[in-house]
A and B are shown apart, each in its own frame.
Chain A
């Protein structure tokens, strides 16, 4: 007997018209639901996220089908991915059945659902359904029994879990009933290819054929009704994420990570800067709220949240959505609160892990722009002073600008502004120029370059703060002022290449300054030193001084620039035995200084720097190595205030390298 089955068995082909009508009705409800959301999204400002179409489509398909972003967090992510694939398989199977029954058979008289293919089809669908049920059970236990900390469960979740269970179980019941009346008796061999259906069929074996048929009819319509309910409920429940979260992969930002819109300061008609109300954000920012699944991964990773500060990136995203729906004219900044906004270190851990491509950081920055540019507010008076200092003296310390180049006295450093030439222009930044501890880093870097035969030039007293901290505090105006001055000086210097020892300067010069017409090649010293070693210009002598250490990926070198391997390679070549922290690489935990927080006192919660030093201590290594003056400053502080002076030291990569140069 051939392996196939009668579609619409017991239901009859007369069902086709009402079935399609009902399906269209459900799809209509779905469309209506999203249609009604459209004007809410469109309250946001325009933003082109339909450019680079092919790239976006590819990204959409690959991200959704592979579930790669979801599965990055194993707990919850793996079952979700497996469930997704199971459910998707069932969906595709149903489509094939639909095509067969309503197109191939009536229009072409072709039956593909037969023979070996049908056997495989049956088996795959059964296993997919089983898998989906098991994963759903796992997810339900996680959500309703284990209740992970911070995971918020709302009615939607209960309804969705129950609905999905009901769909899957009724599906198997329909199959079981059909098999009990047909395959089990007529073609038991084929029944083996529906193992789950086979089990379910035994629920019906004691009944008469008529009873089974009645039960089948009731179950079929129930299953069908539930599926229609599922479709119709999509826009009105968290189920909407199936569409919104997926589509957000299409809308994902394609520009370089960390890109912030450069405001046009010349446009004097502009009266609104940054986002005070939700309507000052873009439509994508509002859409993001609909794409959020409350998976709280952002919150789990947020250094501010982890140290008892009021910021939860997830909550901010939700507040944007709530404002868009219920209070588009009220002050979003007030709803979110200044304390929340100032708590962000812009470390990007939230955005990096988000499976929904939500852009947390720029929302916060746009609201900070409102606080800073529209209200003249700061996280504290110490920041106000620091910002004024940047304005007057070009550095946050308020030290005389004329002394900026003093650190280089007695070192082989050319002053390019005086017309002296050099192989590279070293943009030292404020900390390496003025901060005593970080001057060691600047000196080490110059020593390394000298050993490699590279001549170093600096701008000296003419260099100004790159503007990164003030920009991240929302002060775009001051940022552009200092940026323009730096850009003109660097252009005029005749330099071919700029190297920084600060990832914040590096990000700013290599990305943000591009919007302002700066084109010089800019590199961070970690990759620069790595290059010198690769090309054989720099040789280190690791043998005598092997050392154990743990490496801290600064956010702006790691997560923002994906420079993870080179600094590790350099330190390995220097004789270092690396003991990784649990949170390293793209999962690294901020030092607490990003987003302009380096200028602010940490008044809320506990100290981020101490938390990170503790993590470093857990590796057993007595030394942490960083690549950023802010990190170095924060950890020096955290080691002192946290009482780790006996067990931990922090040093910069350049210091380690400089000590191990083979002359």
Chain B
């Protein structure tokens, strides 16, 4: 079995974001980058499946972006993926999900993957499209938002998270794409021997131009902080005073204090 995991490197969400010069994406200076949290679950699930199948499957981890994304690839390799594919793109934010999906598809077509794992969305752009688009472009079965994954005899049993705590169970035949929701598993912390081994694993470097065949179908016109909700009061200062002020407001504006 050949498995592909698609990961994205994103800024830590605690960072302070400000628009870059173009005004369509964030300024990268002063941001700390890490693997997209959803994708960590994807990597873990792929490695768990590999272990379940007696380490027979080969797991390839792919990431698109500038050189810094090698850190995310290395982390996935240290978690147990076998080889990396770095699609070199200094400005992936300029490509829409459709283009990103087509790049991945171009790469995957030559490789003969049976199963593709990825996060259900990225923490920064949050489009939740790429996984499904890749499946459509490759003609694979696809289930999104997995909080449960089981595999036996070429069939995946996927537990999807629906609204209100309800789960939907579906069975998929390979080849397939699954997108992972938070809480699917507990992503492992790479052990040092595996970090060492990962240093020796192959990382393919492929210029994005070799794989990009599609035009964008959507674009970002502007990136900006949200407008504050009108009427919201901001209280600051000494805790004692804050309590008095809030108490007064609650008394006046709500009916919960009797």
In the bound complex, CA of A376 to CA of B32 (Å):
23
Contact of B30 among A392, A398, A402 (CB under 8 A): A402
A residues 62-104 in Cβ contact with B at 8 Å: none
Rounded to whole Å, the gap between the CB of A396 and the closest CB of chain B is: 12
Q: In the complex, are the beta carbons of B191 and A268 less than 8 A apart? A: no
B15 contacts A by Cβ under 8 Å:
yes
Q: In the complex, are the beta carbons of B196 and A403 less than 8 A apart? A: no
Q: In the complex, are the beta carbons of B191 and A400 less than 8 A apart? A: no
Contact of A273 among B192, B199, B200 (CB under 8 A): B192
B231 contacts A by Cβ under 8 Å:
no
Rounded to whole Å, the gap between the CB of B35 and the closest CB of chain A is: 9
Given known pairs A400-B12, A400-B16, the reply for A374 and B192 (CB within 8 Å) is yes
Contact of B32 among A374, A375, A401 (CB under 8 A): A401
Q: In the complex, are the beta carbons of A400 and B189 less than 8 A apart? A: no
Rounded to whole Å, the gap between the CB of A165 and the closest CB of chain B is: 55
A271 contacts B by Cβ under 8 Å:
yes
Rounded to whole Å, the gap between the CB of B150 and the closest CB of chain A is: 24
Q: In the complex, are the beta carbons of A376 and B189 less than 8 A apart? A: yes
A378 contacts B by Cβ under 8 Å:
yes
A270 contacts B by Cβ under 8 Å:
yes
Residue of B whose beta carbon sits closest to that of A378: B189
**Which one of B188, B195, B196 has the greatest number of beta carbons of chain A within 10 Å?**
B196
Q: In the complex, are the beta carbons of A392 and B195 less than 8 A apart? A: no
> What residues of B have a CB within 8 angstroms of the CB of A398 in the complex?
12, 14
> What residues of A have a CB within 8 angstroms of the CB of B12 in the complex?
392-393, 398, 400
Q: In the complex, are the beta carbons of A270 and B196 less than 8 A apart? A: yes
In the bound complex, CA of A271 to CA of B197 (Å):
10
Digitize B29-59: 1 where CB-to-A-CB distance is under 8 Å, 0 elsewhere: 0111110000000000000000000000000
In the bound complex, CA of A166 to CA of B32 (Å):
73
Q: In the complex, are the beta carbons of B190 and A376 less than 8 A apart? A: yes
> What residues of A have a CB within 8 angstroms of the CB of B33 in the complex?
392
Q: In the complex, are the beta carbons of A402 and B15 less than 8 A apart? A: yes
Residue of A whose beta carbon sits closest to that of B189: A376
B21 contacts A by Cβ under 8 Å:
no
Q: In the complex, are the beta carbons of A376 and B16 less than 8 A apart? A: no
In the bound complex, CA of A114 to CA of B192 (Å):
72
> What residues of B have a CB within 8 angstroms of the CB of A399 in the complex?
14
Residue of B whose beta carbon sits closest to that of A377: B189
Q: In the complex, are the beta carbons of B32 and A393 less than 8 A apart? A: yes
> What residues of B have a CB within 8 angstroms of the CB of A400 in the complex?
12, 14-16, 30, 32
A residues 377-401 in Cβ contact with B at 8 Å: 377-378, 384, 387-388, 391-394, 398-401
Q: In the complex, are the beta carbons of A384 and B32 less than 8 A apart? A: no
A477 contacts B by Cβ under 8 Å:
yes
B193 contacts A by Cβ under 8 Å:
yes
> What residues of A have a CB within 8 angstroms of the CB of B34 in the complex?
388, 391-392
In the bound complex, CA of A387 to CA of B196 (Å):
19
In the bound complex, CA of A477 to CA of B74 (Å):
15
Digitize B193-206: 1 where CB-to-A-CB distance is under 8 Å, 0 elsewhere: 10110011000000
Rounded to whole Å, the gap between the CB of B251 and the closest CB of chain A is: 27
Q: In the complex, are the beta carbons of A373 and B16 less than 8 A apart? A: no
A residues 237-286 in Cβ contact with B at 8 Å: 268, 270-271, 273
In the bound complex, CA of A400 to CA of B199 (Å):
28
**Which one of B16, B32, B199 has the greatest number of beta carbons of chain A within 10 Å?**
B32
Given known pairs A273-B193, A400-B15, A402-B15, the reply for A376 and B188 (CB within 8 Å) is yes
The 5 closest A-B pairs by CB, nearest first: A376-B189, A402-B30, A373-B192, A392-B34, A400-B15
Known: A378-B189, A401-B32. 5 other contacts (CB 8 A): A398-B12, A399-B14, A400-B12, A400-B16, A402-B30
A-B contact pairs, 10 of them (CB 8 A): A268-B196, A373-B191, A374-B191, A375-B191, A392-B32, A392-B34, A394-B32, A399-B14, A400-B32, A401-B30
**Residues on B close to A: CB < 8 A?**
12, 14-16, 30-34, 188-193, 195-196, 199-200
